[in-house]
């Protein structure tokens, strides 16, 4: 079945440094979504990417979808302590119907 792999598993940065997490799928995805989960919280929807090569920005966050629609990345510029949490990618392909398959997430720790 479809697997969505994320790296790194953990990342510890100093406030102001950049951060990137990568998501890779074994199969072509119809779309990919990104979620953020704060410690002790629940996943919160950030964004969806659908088109090959798509790039979307939300303030300091930049999301990319690969040309082959098998990988994606989330880049945070100049991290802040409020960025702390676990970032999950979740992909969907034609075989999974409407179900999203989540990666294991990248936990980001930002120290001031």
User: Which stretches of the chain bind other proteins, using CB under 8 A?
Assistant: 30-31, 33, 35, 41-45, 48, 50, 88, 90, 92, 97-105
Looking only at the bridges linking them, the beta strands covering 101-102 and 44-49 are unpaired
- Min dist CB 34 to other proteins, Å, is 9
Residue in the structure block whose two tokens are 């939300």: 58
- Nearer Cβ to other proteins (50/68): 50
- The closest of 23, 15, 19 to 75, measured between CA atoms, is 19
- Nearer Cβ to other proteins (79/93): 93
Taking the C-alpha atoms of residue 63 and residue 80, their distance in angstroms, rounded to an integer, is 18
- Min dist CB 16 to other proteins, Å, is 27
- Nearer Cβ to other proteins (61/90): 90
Taking the C-alpha atoms of residue 22 and residue 88, their distance in angstroms, rounded to an integer, is 10
- Min dist CB 20 to other proteins, Å, is 18
């Amino acid at each position: 079945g479809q697997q969505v792999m994320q790296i790194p598993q953990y990342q510890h940065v100093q406030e102001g440094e950049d951060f990137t997490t990568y998501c890779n799928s074994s199969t072509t995805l119809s779309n990919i979504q990104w979620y953020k989960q704060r410690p002790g919280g629940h996943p919160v929807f950030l964004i969806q990417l659908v088109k090959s090569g798509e790039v979307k920005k939300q303030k300091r966050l930049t999301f990319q979808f690969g040309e082959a629609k098998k990988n994606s990345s989330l880049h945070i510029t100049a991290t802040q302590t409020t960025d702390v949490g676990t970032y999950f990618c979740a992909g969907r392909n034609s075989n999974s119907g409407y179900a999203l398959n989540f990666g294991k997430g990248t936990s980001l720790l930002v120290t001031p």
